Amino acid sequence: MTHIRKVVFPVAGMGTRFLPATKSIPKEMLPLIDRPLIQYAVDEARAAGIEEFIFVSAAGKGALEDYFDTAAALEMTLEAKGKTDALRALAPSRMPEGALTILRQGKALGLGHAVRQAKHLIGNEAFAVMLPDDVIKGPEGALAQMIQAHKKVGGHMVATMDVPRKATSSYGVLDVERQDGRVFHARGMVEKPRPDIAPSTQAVVGRYILQPSIFARLADLGPGAGGELQLTDAINADLQNVGVSGYQFAGERFDCGSIQGFVQATAAYAMDRADLGHAFVKFLNTRLEPQKMLTKTGQTYPFG
């Protein structure tokens, strides 16, 4: 039975979909309500018992690296002013000594290449990979759910969600052999299949539990889709040695790598916050009422 202690966060991407915001702010530092995206992923990892956090970063991501540093001057000022609430708000951004390592990818050659950078820090144990873009909202963290299932199933495991068939071409999709509750034992994964030939509707989401054998496959890997080193290709190449399964987590996933997903996540989290929800829903209703009226008369709402 493996204890998953380490997580790799690949955060070296350029975040071009959020330009110009990401010209000087890393995508992972964009605030979802009042916490940067990366904080949601770190909280989920902590809740799953992760002890070591490995960031695969890149030039221009200094704000992300500073975020997990001790802000000594700020903390002293807040303490002197007796601002205990503000001090408390900083707590989740603190890391225990030695728990955080930051690597540089150098060139953004793909997700597989990013994960490969962590080889010497992982050693010979199973580990997690989390893409902070995928924010998963639910009563229990998705990674904790996966780790629980992985204890029984082993092998490589990816998080999945069931998508409408017409959407398969936007995802990596599992070729499912058999289902056991939330676990989908698979023959492999297919990148962005057309709906008519997709082997299933179980779409891969940015959470992985990987065996260390993945590093040998990543070392051998040539460029895949988009000319990048694809993690999916390495998992498929390892199928002779290690089985792969999908775990359909309970929770709602938001693609915060896209503007639409980010806006939806902001609304969902705002609605559920005790201090914001009531006023926010009231505000939304004032916006939605005129739209409903127009829908009835067949007109379109004048967005923008």
**Measured between alpha carbons, how far is 139 from 251 in angstroms, rounded to an integer?**
7
**Measured between alpha carbons, how far is 293 from 297 in angstroms, rounded to an integer?**
7
Of 21, 95, 109, 216, the one binding ligand UTP (CB under 6 A) is: 109
Q: How far is the CB of 156 from ligand UTP (least distance, A)?
A: 18
Told to check if 110 binds ligand UTP by CB under 6 A, we report yes
**Neighbour count for residue 211 (Cβ, 10 Å):** 21
Of 257, 265, 269, 270, the one binding ligand UTP (CB under 6 A) is: 257
Q: Which stretch binds ligand UTP (CB under 6 A): 64-72, 103-111, 135-143, 285-293?
A: 103-111
Question: Any residues with CB less than 8 A from the CB of 262 and at least 6 apart, and which?
Answer: 18, 30, 32, 254, 256
Q: Which stretch binds ligand UTP (CB under 6 A): 74-82, 108-116, 268-276, 285-293?
A: 108-116
Site for ligand UTP in 124-143 (CB under 6 A): 131-133
Told to check if 108 binds ligand UTP by CB under 6 A, we report yes
| Among 137, 95, 133, CA closest to 111 | 133
Cβ nearer to ligand UTP, comparing 168 with 183: 168
**Measured between alpha carbons, how far is 298 from 296 in angstroms, rounded to an integer?**
6
Q: How far is the CB of 11 from ligand UTP (least distance, A)?
A: 5
**Measured between alpha carbons, how far is 274 from 292 in angstroms, rounded to an integer?**
27
Told to check if 30 binds ligand UTP by CB under 6 A, we report no
Place of tokens 């605030």: 31
Told to check if 21 binds ligand UTP by CB under 6 A, we report no
123: left (phi over 0), alpha (psi -120 to 50) or beta: left
Told to check if 172 binds ligand UTP by CB under 6 A, we report no
Residue showing the smallest CB distance to ligand UTP in the complex: 13
Chain contacts with ligand UTP (rule: CB under 6 A): 10-17, 27, 56, 105, 108-111, 113-114, 131-133, 257
